[in-house]
DNA sequence: CTCATTGCAAAGGATTTGCACTAAT
DNA sequence: ATTAGTGCAAATCCTTTGCAATGAG
């Protein structure tokens, strides 16, 4: 799949909803959709600044709102005191491993876990809608360097 | 276990650490340890105010810090924009089922899940510190009444 | 041209911190 | 007496909002 296809999808979404396609919106979308990372609003702003593009904080947040509504981006809260955003591409339902030393986020998907989660919910009379698993630990890199010890 | 035993445990913790046992600290501890609920800092303050006890906001937060360090209370973040605190009594590691219709929170514990979570982390080179699973769904009550549909 | 977006700065909500005052040991 | 805790208000951190200037369609 072409890298810019996702951006075009966003452009299409904006047009369909009569929302102006501004360079700022596209710039924010590019950071988020063309990379495989979890960005905080602040990181996005810094990333853009590093690229020489200046986008106001408010605009970053407002664009993130649109991106989430478009379904192209997903909002995550790992209890760090701020939110992170990631492309919704590919992995529909996945879990997160968060390194408490360096903040790195690793994603994975496991069918057995999905099934177990549904069964556990049923056992308590719940009909599952979704679930979220975050495992906090130390990644292999940080284990080597001894960071956060 | 008697209701006041937990409070005595907290008093003991304070003494052992040369921390003064103040009426404010005990008051906050009582709200949290003598009930089966998840409280926000704000709710604790209101609860105390309703009881005619006035405790400053800063003191509530500072006491929560001590309670968490003592291991008697656990801090939770369900992505609501603020933190919740609950007694750690009994269930050392447990998961949460959150009804998206009525907001009810149900807790449960499952060893197989704990083990699976550790194994999944290892498979990705992580050393597990802890994990958090929140299953979002509809509780049996709401399924009957059709709330949130 | 017209209306939505932008950016700045002020406002907000949750939590923290500085500091003079009070209380526990 | 000592030393730490308390309350208040000011300060932070992340995020939202008001509003005049700007830009997309």
Mean pLDDT of B101-113: 85
* Under 8 Å between Cβ of B89 and B33: yes
pLDDT band per the 50, 70, 90 thresholds, residue A2: low
Of B105, B107, B110, the C-alpha closest to A119 is B110
Type and span of the H or E element at A42: helix A41-50
Interior angle at CA B68, CA B17 and CA B81, nearest 5: 150
> B127 contacts in A (CB within 8 Å)?
137-138, 143
Concatenate the DSSP letters of all residues of A48-68 into one string: HHHTT----HHHHHHHHHHHH
pTM for this one? Answer: 0.79
Nearest CB to B137; choose among A108, A113, A127: A127
**B49-87 confidence digits (pLDDT tens):** 999 999 999 999 999 999 999 999 999 888 788 999 999
**A64-89 confidence digits (pLDDT tens):** 999 999 999 999 999 899 999 999 88
Type and span of the H or E element at A127: strand A127-138
Tokens of A20: 């102006």
Those nucleotides of strand C lying less than 7 Å from any protein Cβ are 4-9, 13-18, 23-25
Query: Which strands sit side by side in the sheet containing B39-40, from one edge to the other?
Result: B39-40, B84-87, B73-76
């Amino acid at each position: 799949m072409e890298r810019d296809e996702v951006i075009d999808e966003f452009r299409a979404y904006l047009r369909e909803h009569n929302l102006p396609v501004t360079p700022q919106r596209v710039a924010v979308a590019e950071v988020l959709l063309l990379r495989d990372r979890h960005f905080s609003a602040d990181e996005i702003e810094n990333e853009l600044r590093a690229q020489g593009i200046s986008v106001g904080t408010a605009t970053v947040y407002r664009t993130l709102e649109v991106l989430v509504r478009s379904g192209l981006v997903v909002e995550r809260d790992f209890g760090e005191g701020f939110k992170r955003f990631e492309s919704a591409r590919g992995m529909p339902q996945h879990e997160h491993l968060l390194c408490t030393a360096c903040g790195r986020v690793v994603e994975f998907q496991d069918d057995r876990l999905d099934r177990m989660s549904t069964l556990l919910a049923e056992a308590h009379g719940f009909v599952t809608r979704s679930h979220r698993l975050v495992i906090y630990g130390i990644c292999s890199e940080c284990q080597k360097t001894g960071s956060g010890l």
